[in-house]
Chain A
Amino acid sequence: NAGVTQTPKFQVLKTGQSMTLQCAQDMNHEYMSWYRQDPGMGLRLIHYSVGAGITDQGEVPNGYNVSRSTTEDFPLRLLSAAPSQTSVYFCASSYSSLSRPNYGYTFGSGTRLTVV
């Protein structure tokens, strides 16, 4: 089925390790974004991209890097994992053109990350 695919679903890292969370969508959406979800904090935007080759920071970008070499993929890299990055990470995508009647995001199923 079409949608947003995130891998892995679960991950445990040691402090200082690096890793990449994968996100892929097959809906030809221009806009992609990464959120983290923590209890009591809601969804907070980490990084986003309005198209291939274009990325920008969100609300909580420190400790994370992104790149967008293709329309389909938007990986999130943790450079040196810290316990404060323990969270559930969601990737989301949408059309970005105002001419398209689609105002909502399609979310992936999430990656549960624990940093020990």
Chain B
Amino acid sequence: QKEVEQDPGPLSVPEGAIVSLNCTYSNSAFQYFMWYRQYSRKGPELLMYTYSSGNKEDGRFTAQVDKSSKYISLFIRDSQPSDSATYLCAMRRIQGAQKLVFGQGTRLTINP
């Protein structure tokens, strides 16, 4: 079983829709949770990060962490065609090296 599971999609929604992307994990030692966005033929770029449980909002993006369920989510409101990309969740322990464990990534397309 992988430490981090993410549905690879693809996911296709109309412009303006609310998008929900999710990951589950098995290691309770994970404390830092991140979402990366990767455009086609580009490197991933950090979109949001959260520490431990709770919500974090940044513009149209909201990240949620539920440690009791080992479940994290990224919500995109008022989705735009420019949001079309692959979204990867990532997480790491609080101690030790900075190794991140990534989900598979979900390919998202926003249709105009």
Contact = CB atoms under 8 A, between A and B. Distances in A.
A33 interface: yes
Given A108-B43, A109-B43, A42 B88 contact: yes
Contact of A105 (B6, B41, B46, B105): B46
B99 A40 contact: no
B104 A110 contact: no
Given A105-B46, A107-B43, A58 B34 contact: no
B98 A96 contact: yes
Contacts of A45: 99-100
B34 A103 contact: yes
A50 B43 CA distance: 21
Contacts, number: 59
Interface in B29-49: 32, 34, 36, 41-46, 49
A25 to B, nearest CB: 12
B21 to A, nearest CB: 14
Contacts of B6: 42
Interface residues of B, number: 24
A31 B44 contact: no
Nearest to B50: A103
Nearest to A104: B46
A35 B98 CA distance: 14
B99 A58 contact: yes
A88 to B, nearest CB: 9
Given A42-B88, A96-B97, 8 more contacts: A33-B98, A40-B8, A42-B6, A42-B104, A43-B105, A50-B98, A103-B32, A103-B49
* Shortest 7 CB-CB contacts between residues of A and residues of B: A107-B43, A104-B46, A42-B104, A43-B102, A31-B98, A103-B49, A103-B32
